[in-house]
Structure 1
Amino acid sequence: MISLDEPRSETGGLSVSVVVFRPDEELLNCTLANLGVACSELRKFRPDFAIDICIVDNGGLLDISQTIGVLTDLGVACEIVGGHGNVGYGRGHNLAIQRIESRYHLILNPDIDIERDALMKALDFFDEHPDAGLITPRIGDREGRLQYLCRRYPTLLDLFVRGFLPRRIRDLFKKRLTRYEMHDVINEREVVWDPPIISGCFMLFRTGLLKKLAGFDPRYFLYFEDYDLSLRAHEFARVVYVPFVRVIHHGGGAARKGPAHISMFAASAFKFFNRFGWKWL
């Protein structure tokens, strides 16, 4: 493990990056509004904490000036970075990561609703556990049911079954998938140290660790960049599932998004297994 002490130049605050490409306007505004509420709650306990949000526009961002105005009124600095085209998810976040000087950095999807006290609880956890470098929260679906987005190392069969088979056939592999998704470990109550892989929809880093990792590997356009970053993070710090940090995720799988996403998924899977090792069955 490396020292996770942040460089002296860092402000001690929190930065957030959100990458968007033709976003759902309602979902994005909801994400930013809930983020603003969580930032406001955090400020009650850390009044001098600097908070900066960077929205990286990969294309198709509509007018969100009203929401930005609300965030600014809450004392949250907001910046929109655009004009670079659709460079992909990881490279988009890297545009923000290379600019930050915060103590903590949150990588956030534009379809995540953060609970009011989530940021406060997460940063308190960091204060209490100096060996923790990356936090993943309890992630629920729209009905509030737990999504099992912590993963063990995948095989090709796991990915194919989970992503592309109809539910009635997928149920035949239930035991296998529940192991891959860590159902035996992840729950609503217990902190879990060192899950191998966590979801990129919400990754809260100590910035010192994120800078050490140089952000996302830019070779992934979409999919598996979070798998890659998770595995590399374990080399230098501990990754933690913290169930009392809670968010809601409105996202979906690659197979439900059409042939282009399936093609990107397959290309990224090939790069991932080439780097970390192939497991078939």
Structure 2
Amino acid sequence: MNDTSAPRAEIEGLSVSVVVYRPDLDQFAHTLASLGAACEALCSARRGLPIELYLVDNGGLPDVSVALDELNAHGIACAIITGHGNVGYGRGHNLAIERTVSHYHLVLNPDIDLDREALTKALDFFDAHADAGLLTPWIGDDQGHVQYLCRRYPTLLDLFVRGFLPAGVRKLFAQRLARYEMRDLINERDVVWDPPIVSGCFMLFRASVLKKLAGFDARYFLYFEDYDLSLRAHDVARVVYTPAVRVLHHGGGAARKGSSHIRMFAASAFKFFNRFGWKWL
């Protein structure tokens, strides 16, 4: 259904937004199933907690009526936001963010599998740490190995080496990339406060923080909108890496997606560095 509801008073609860553009059908089904299982565990731990899912259709949304019926059966209210065309990743999420009235809001990719206890542990962490405003989890790849998606501020060389050089050549820059990817701090055990930049594939906010930031900067169509939002989040709250919260990420880099993605990556990088400052080497 289309979401045309009027503004409502803020409620205790969780909302989730997933922006979809021609998704991989099998992976998207896995994402919705894992989200449902995580929400079921959360509802078991917190009886009566309202949960809303917004699917933002930027184009090519498949028939997900069966999956949404299953989510509804677990008490998750589902809405599809459609009819706006492909407005980009950040603007798509903003369509949901401006509608939500929950205390917490999760920005989620359609290529993420959530651990069953991920949402329960995340909200428990927020309860225990009032200064935390944005939470990023431990993120694994298809083989379950950690993806180092917390970042220090990038240079142009960092981005070029990590995104576009062959693996054999990247080894020559291993020490440099390790610093950029915060490999000295990120592990499966330790909470890390205030990583400068976190990944947009899973960003769990106190909604008051997200509203104060006015969501994503709509000037980015794709890429770097999460870098921008991460850096701005530090102005109003603390950002935290919480490895007890676990997800798997099945996404790929811009260079592997073709020339159009490389062009979008470059255009967004230009906007990002123009706003926050250029670092070359």
Q: What TM-score range do you get, normalising by the shorter chain?
A: over 0.9
Corresponding residue for residue 67 of structure 2: 67
Indicate whether 1:40 and 2:40 are aligned.
yes
Corresponding residue for residue 195 of structure 2: 195
Indicate whether 1:207 and 2:203 are aligned.
no
Corresponding residue for residue 237 of structure 2: 237
Separation (CA, whole Å) in 2 of partners of 1:157 and 1:62: 39
Corresponding residue for residue 246 of structure 1: 246
Deviation at residue 48 of structure 1 after TM alignment = 1.2
Separation (CA, whole Å) in 1 of partners of 2:194 and 2:226: 15
Indicate whether 1:91 and 2:52 are aligned.
no
Instruction: Give CA-to-partner distance per residue, 1:75-98, whole Å, 9 cap, x none.
Output: 100001111100000000000000
AA at the equivalent of 1:121: K
Separation (CA, whole Å) in 1 of partners of 2:198 and 2:213: 16
Instruction: Give CA-to-partner distance per residue, 1:119-147, whole Å, 9 cap, x none.
Output: 00000000000000000000000110000
Separation (CA, whole Å) in 2 of partners of 1:143 and 1:73: 31
Structure-1-length-normalised TM-score: 0.97
Secondary structure of the structure 2 residue equivalent to 1:66: helix
Instruction: Give CA-to-partner distance per residue, 1:176-225, whole Å, 9 cap, x none.
Output: 00000000010000000000000000000000000000000000000000
Deviation at residue 10 of structure 1 after TM alignment = 1.5
Corresponding residue for residue 24 of structure 2: 24
Separation (CA, whole Å) in 1 of partners of 2:62 and 2:106: 23
Corresponding residue for residue 182 of structure 2: 182
Secondary structure of the structure 2 residue equivalent to 1:205: strand
Secondary structure of the structure 2 residue equivalent to 1:252: coil
Corresponding residue for residue 117 of structure 1: 117
Deviation at residue 43 of structure 1 after TM alignment = 0.5
Deviation at residue 9 of structure 1 after TM alignment = 3.2
Q: Map 1:41-56; keep pairs closer than 5 Å.
A: 41-56=41-56
**Cα RMSD after superposing both structures:** 0.8
Aligned pairs, how many?
A: 274
Separation (CA, whole Å) in 2 of partners of 1:115 and 1:53: 17
Corresponding residue for residue 137 of structure 1: 137
Separation (CA, whole Å) in 2 of partners of 1:20 and 1:45: 29
Separation (CA, whole Å) in 2 of partners of 1:242 and 1:235: 20
Corresponding residue for residue 219 of structure 2: 219
Sequence identity percentage:
71
Separation (CA, whole Å) in 2 of partners of 1:126 and 1:184: 25
Secondary structure of the structure 2 residue equivalent to 1:78: strand
AA at the equivalent of 1:59: G
Deviation at residue 15 of structure 1 after TM alignment = 0.0
Long gaps (5+) in structure 2:
1-7
Separation (CA, whole Å) in 2 of partners of 1:126 and 1:9: 22
Q: Map 1:235-274; keep pairs closer than 5 Å.
A: 235-274=235-274
Corresponding residue for residue 126 of structure 1: 126
Separation (CA, whole Å) in 2 of partners of 1:74 and 1:57: 23
Instruction: Give CA-to-partner distance per residue, 1:42-95, whole Å, 9 cap, x none.
Output: 011111100000000000111111101100111100001111100000000000
Moved over 4 A (4+): none
